[in-house]
Structure 1
Amino acid sequence: MLAIVLIAIFDDTLAPEGPNDIDVAERLQSPSWSHPFGTDDLGRDILSRIILGASVSLKVGFLAVGFALVVGTLIGLLAGYYGRWVDDVLMRFMDMLFAFPAVLLAIAVLAVRGPGSGNTALAIGIVYTPIFARVTRASVLGVREEVYVRASRSVGASDWRILTRHILPNAAPPIIVQTSISLAFAVLAEAALSFLGLGTQPPDPSWGLMLAEGAATSSSPGGSPSSPGSRSS
């Protein structure tokens, strides 16, 4: 995992060629010393595109989980701390999002916003927000009745101070675990959406988009590539 992250950070330095350097004469070459992973249907170096695709996929994953972490944690804090009608309204809204399958909800968001890396991160973030909200709420429900919280409330501490100084730090461990789990699934979700033609758009490299291009090339007669976008339509 550390190696993949380092490759994504130093992508331009490690990539032997530009991800969009086209050489039609070298198209569909098998692995060799000059192209360790071979070339695609346009003669682009596959290793370079995989390295640059790692940067795109991880960036979308971190942005999506960051959005879900901030929004979901805020919703969970408010619902768990205040309870009653605040809890009912916020959690019922989260239940509405939970009612949709994750990929279907992401596709619906992208249908409204349009394809692209930024919109893909937003769509995945919306999908994962209810998960963080529920995890945070469950932790807050256990922490808000602790002695130190009641003591702070008794001496007149504000709700904001109690939430940020006492409740959130002690409710953080499950949230941190959920963040690490969601990062992996966010990368897979980005790849799936790009495979369907709804995520990263050509010519930018993405792992899911490269799989779609490879599948289209191998399934078309004579190795003539078809557009990944036609697969999703």
Structure 2
Amino acid sequence: MKPVFGKPSKERLTAAEAVIRDHYADKIPSGIFDAWASQIGKTFSRPLTLLPAPLALERRRYPKERYDALLALRTRDRGALTRRGVINLLAFALAVDALITPTIPQPVRNDYMIALLGQRFMRREVYSRTVNRYRSRREKTGVIRYGPNGPEELTRVVEEEVPTKEYCRIRRADLRYVGRRLWKAMEKMLLSGGRSGAEWQTLSDRVRQELV
């Protein structure tokens, strides 16, 4: 789950956040940005009833089958996506796209920002829970019985409750899938043209200028 080519430093993230906030400065006081962030938050929240047991989630092979469960896990652990969360995600994507992605060779360049965006959104490597299960075991009683085969120590079956940890690892394919869906939602609501549009290119240029 570690970034292969690196991740932005605190200085880079701070600069990207300042650029994003300045870009939406006129929209934040008017409340339009709040509506956009709220809509993104509703899009990426799921009820806890959609979160299965870790072993049940492990049996779902494809990211599309695990998507709702992962969003329910995210909602449980990190709450709803707020305006600050949207700005942080945009700033992270902007810093990666402007400063790290250009140094990455193809063909992984196009997917790198998307994968890191999904990782930033989830912030988890393993989904686990502890459940109590009953287990049978034999223990010696200390009583000796003499039979045709000689002395034998009697045993008895004991039922005991044992805490058992179940876990399911979140895959890189899951994070890429989540990141792609997240980027499409932010692109649709907050940006015109996406990563290839003039708006995003302007933001990238400003971030590079801030750090020169």
The alignment's TM-score, normalised by the length of structure 2, stands at: 0.28
User: Normalized per residue, which structure has more helix?
Assistant: 1
Taking CA–CA contacts closer than 8 Å with sequence separation of 6 or more, which of the two structures ends up with the larger relative contact order? 2
Which of the pair has more CA radius of gyration?
2
The alignment's TM-score, normalised by the length of structure 1, stands at: 0.27
